[in-house]
A and B are shown apart, each in its own frame.
Chain A
């Protein structure tokens, strides 16, 4: 009520700093990382070649992390995305080798993703399992499917050249994988931020019981989120298989933890700690830039994992501390 600036100047400063750290801390860390890498390896890190490298490297993770964001918006998460990406990759490669044609093969792989998501969603939203248990179980089952399907081997011979369109071709100067990533980003951002569906998903994530009593069909909406996540994982599997031009039954596994980490990193950028697509994208870039930079610096790849863990902890801890004020 009464304005008195003299007393609270220092407190105000601290509060301002905290707010800044909370909103921009993760982003500032990201920028700092770019500055450090480009100072340490001038001419290499910021070269057009390497920048393109980074975008191509993060494209697949960005697809999975973006649709993972949708599941995390409703307060669930999906551990099965990595195994599902592998499965979709294996299926699309096998379909192509059998000669079903490019687009039918892709559609079948996407359908598998949607059905797998539907199954996860049914388990969580309608049968009341926790997302952790349900998707841990389906992750194991999906992995088993891929291994059984391929008998544990890598599929590569007989994949038609036309399949390179998703992961290796360019439209103008831009890699197609990056275009696909941008499309997923834009569409998901639009759905979450600008449509009634997105609004309802955020409401459920904020308070599922209140959303139900406010007349939302909570079960159907949670189910929808899992279907979107399944589709994203399947799409990522297709792009990954195209990029590698071979399908390994566990190729998609690292996507799961990295995508969840990216969403968490993104969540640190918002006051209410909710997942947002743009935050997730910064999280993906942060992970991608770090891995690329550490590779250029020839840091031991095992140590890179340790550093990644430390960075995630730091970001989440700092934003938590800043929020406490």
Chain B
């Protein structure tokens, strides 16, 4: 089904099934597959938009994404969605760091220029309503809603994790030293960044909530209210004690504030923090990404079991075989499978959705 073929009944189905999944009452997994029509343009609807400078005409940017939307078929629990991909941690740019686009062979990514300070003491994050990238993101979201508002769900931009944002402003290596040299300043700055982060989040959600059929964020989540994929790439490198001090308070604050929070658990180096994360009462679930060079998600059944046994939802990116393995071994309920299309035709994708639903 294409984006402009979604009827009121389809949106009602999306709302009903996703809401049941969030509530833990859906007895099957959510299964999302996308297929593309032959001859679709190169790139993706998720391509990073920092390739265009701040202030670039919003319509010309949205024109880039339009044909991607028009050539995509949505299968299973997938739905038309566009999220404002300015790279991970764009709040760093809202706070003064210059973003640079980098072609990584995929969607593209963003590198943030550090502020060039000699010490954390020199960093004083403040909300700047005239910041060019903040204005640009707001304008783009408003333009996207005006263009697609009642046919496409809008996704919040990837604002970033508090330590990741601070690492962008300070420099990652410098911040790693600061963990020992200046921890009190990290405490001050993480609190300040979290407070600002929540303001950017609320203001972006207020824009998103003006017309879209539900709310979303990157990784194609649908939620009836504000949600977000929390993250802390920085915590890959630090001890549980430092995680407890520098990262956990931010996660707990955000989870208390956001109705549908998930956590982006990226790489085996973060697994040492998983048990502690699972104790955050308001955290709804974990997205497990094993990382490049590692077995795919279905090769980590113990991790997935740990997540589910803690009562959390779980999202994984898998192929068809992987989705079936997880569904058979652990039961599908509570899982969200984003299934790689592997050259499937729309009919084959629909057949696979039916096959895995039949397991439930």
A and B: real partners?
Answer: no
Q: Tell me the B residues contacting A by CB distance below 8 Å.
A: none
Q: Tell me the A residues contacting B by CB distance below 8 Å.
A: none
